[in-house]
Structure 1
Amino acid sequence: MAAVDSFHLLFRQVALSCQSHIELLAVVGALYTAKKGLKLLCQGYNIIQLHITPHLFGKTNLVKEYGEWAVVTGATGGIAKAYAEELARHGIKIMLIDENKEKLQDLSISITETYGVNTSFMEVDFSRGREVYPLIKDTLTHMDVGLLVNCLGELFEYPQCLTLCTEEKLWETINVNISAATIMVNIVIPGMVKRKRGAIVNVSFRSWCRPTYPMSMFKTSKLYLDTFSQELQSELYSKGIFVQSLAPLCVATNGITPYRASHRFPFLVPSSEVYAHHAVKTLGVSHRTTGYWAHSVQLVAAYWFPDLVCQAVARFLHPTHA
């Protein structure tokens, strides 16, 4: 009994001596919880401000805000095609640039007939490098280019490790995913600066978890556009030019929905048309965004959940490869 009483006495003495430390830890814990709670509230507020408010309050006159013409690269498919059509819906004239002349003609006619705006197109193979830009520059110099949408993306036929890529394919990827956007910006900026208005949208790539399959060259070349856009915004902000890094997650392009979640949770993987409708609403609102509310929610969730959970979700969302 004496030993038990001695233990309880010792325990009480230790507890009393640690009381001040326990109170300090409680204060630290409360501050940490408050910080995380404030962070969550800010993230929620940003999603509402970016993806809900623009749909509720008014319609921006994009022609008056930025200019008469929009130049869209990679225009014949996927997000670029839908984005061009959405801009045309707002009354903006469209210059389509891609490498397939037949598709360009069909899309140009379709946009003109559907939305009643003037269109033009240029057949350009950006993988050829420097030789294609003099003609583009001569054509665009005399146009009131208010928006440039860089939506080119050189994809591999299947996910491939860098060590298995040919040198020719690597140069094609660099020319299309990196050089094209950079030179196109360089071509249109002088006119925008002179008119003191304009917008540049670089469609990049965002991954909220580690990749589950080899796509390092594609991913990193597109991530270049994200960094490029942020630096460009700092450079051009004082000149009245808006720069946006548009970085979607999973989008069902060309009517194809290869993601498992698209059948059970279709709102997670929007069609190109739905995505473009939401993305255009973020013009002038956010310099760096996913462009779609469900994608922004996924990024917030990824911030709060461990990597293992994110990787498990990624394996569920992305298709499997043999």
Structure 2
Amino acid sequence: MFQEYLAGSADIFSGIGALTTGVIAFKIALGLFRFISAHFLSRALGLTANLQKAGSWAVVTGGTDGIGKAYAEQLAAKGINMVLISRSLSKLTDMARDVEEKYKVKTLVIEADFSQPDIYDNIRANIEKLDIGVLVNNVGMSYDFPEYFAEVEDPNFVSRLLHLNCTSVAKMTQIVLPIMLKKRQGYIINIGSSAGSSPTPFLTLYSACKAFVDTFTRALSIEYSGSGVNFQLVSPYFVVSKLSKMWKPSIFVPTPTTFVKGALATVGVQTTTNGFWSHSVQDWIMAVIPMSVITNGLLDNRRRALKKRANAKQNQ
């Protein structure tokens, strides 16, 4: 009797094991299919959103450098007029002139320092009557180098980082969303970060802000499901830019132009994306790396940055 019980139990556990293996295999296959579809087949299959149909204007914050500049250029290349918002009027003017000459679209520049909370009435007054189809919430800032939260020297760091990374996303969405809802179409693209996917020590406040962008975007996507307004969270790893302080492109560190070309192909396909195929690969790898390894790497970066700063002071 006992032997029969054991044999029956073995059959049950074998069945459970086979079912579990099948589920895991299915999830892996589904993940690979989604990865290939989003990053390599989306345009060919006609899955990518037609952003031109959403409206004649796009708004890009922080659109004079890095990822923001690449979004502005590639949206303008589609024939969409551009609203460029940043703190440097000279850069805005140069960017607007280049975009108008190269892509034959209209531009509107708005000088605004997103580290300040009192800029949004002026932005609203300038754009609320435009046919806005796309909003790219890109402006942001990070740490100069990995640092203990209590040892950040800039007394205004906390408020500046919160305003640039959180307030800007919420307030710009508050301004633009009613415009899109009224016509029942539009795309709001929020640039997050891989650092927002899980707590990142020594970049603590930046990580927390990008986690806010993540939650904010996902929740709005559900809240306004069926409204015609689409939300997308883009969580990149390193891209060649001043923000990342990485200047040499590679497979895992694309240029902003290359990155945004890949990211735009996922609009309408993925609500959350790493934007570029190699960043999705990195995301899978990072999911299995112990936090201790990540922490030690950040501490090494901190030590090198502090040593470099000390040497610079000595050479002054």
Task: Choose from 114, 121, 132 the match for 2:109.
Answer: 121
Task: Choose from 252, 269, 272 the match for 2:256.
Answer: 272
Matched residues, percent identical?
Answer: 29
CA distance in 1, matches of 2:143, 2:124: 29
Larger mean Cα displacement after TM superposition, 240-249 or 151-160: 151-160
Query: TM-score of the superposition, structure 1-length normalised?
Result: 0.84
CA contact (8 A) 1:206 1:249 kept: yes
Residues 203, 256 of structure 1: alpha-carbon distance in 2 compared, 3 angstrom cutoff: closer
- Trace 1:1-322 onto structure 2 (pairs within 5 A): 18-58=6-46, 61-64=50-53, 66-129=54-117, 131-165=118-152, 166-207=154-195, 211=200, 214-254=202-242, 258=246, 266-303=250-287, 305=288, 307-308=289-290, 312=293, 320-322=301-303
CA contact (8 A) 1:254 1:272 kept: no
Residues 317, 179 of structure 1: alpha-carbon distance in 2 compared, 3 angstrom cutoff: closer
Larger mean Cα displacement after TM superposition, 248-257 or 111-120: 248-257
Shift of 1:61: 3.6
From the CA coordinates, give the structure whose radius of gyration is larger.
1
Letter in 2 for 1:321: R
Shift of 1:194: 1.2
Shift of 1:133: 1.0
Query: TM-score of the superposition, structure 2-length normalised?
Result: 0.86
Shift of 1:107: 1.1
CA contact (8 A) 2:140 2:164 kept: yes
What is the aligned-residue RMSD (CA, Å)?
2.7
Hey, which of these two has a bigger chunk of helix by percent? 1
Q: Per-residue displacement from partner, 1:85-108 (whole Å, max 9, x unpaired)?
A: 111111111111010111111111
CA contact (8 A) 1:78 1:253 kept: yes
Q: Report how many residues are paired.
A: 300
Letter in 1 for 2:78: H
CA distance in 2, matches of 1:314, 1:45: 32
Unaligned stretches of 5+ residues in structure 1:
1-12
Residues 314, 171 of structure 1: alpha-carbon distance in 2 compared, 3 angstrom cutoff: closer
Residues 320, 14 of structure 1: alpha-carbon distance in 2 compared, 3 angstrom cutoff: farther
Unaligned stretches of 5+ residues in structure 2:
304-316
CA contact (8 A) 1:206 1:223 kept: no
Q: Per-residue displacement from partner, 1:225-246 (whole Å, max 9, x unpaired)?
A: 1100111112222221011111
Larger mean Cα displacement after TM superposition, 120-129 or 158-167: 158-167
Residues 237, 24 of structure 1: alpha-carbon distance in 2 compared, 3 angstrom cutoff: closer
CA contact (8 A) 2:239 2:246 kept: no
Residues 292, 311 of structure 1: alpha-carbon distance in 2 compared, 3 angstrom cutoff: farther
